[in-house]
Structure 1
């Protein structure tokens, strides 16, 4: 635990996903937040194209807000 939580949906499968925050920074005009998570494709029933990508996908999300 320790980060924002949400639900990730692929086709009809929905699973909880946590995004532990790695960093938050700002300079008075912008605010940047960055988080990473790992998605297990098999948990969403996605088992096709096994040679195209791995079972686990590592995602990084960066959000930039400009004031």
Structure 2
């Protein structure tokens, strides 16, 4: 895995590591960073938290918990 931006926590492909109503920024395997969504958004089928294989570009490889404004 490449180095992660400051504040990001690596994710190992298991279940969602935070409460569903936690606001998070996520980084996908393809390097795309998406913010402003609750963790539950990424857990609908297919779940991007749970890796199906090591070559799926949308799998979440890191996340950062955000403070709501």
TM-score tier after normalising by the smaller chain length: under 0.3
Q: TM-score, normalised by structure 2?
A: 0.20
| Greater share of strand | 1
Task: Give the structure, 1 or 2, with the largest relative contact order (CA under 8 Å, sep 6 or more).
Answer: 2
Q: TM-score, normalised by structure 1?
A: 0.21
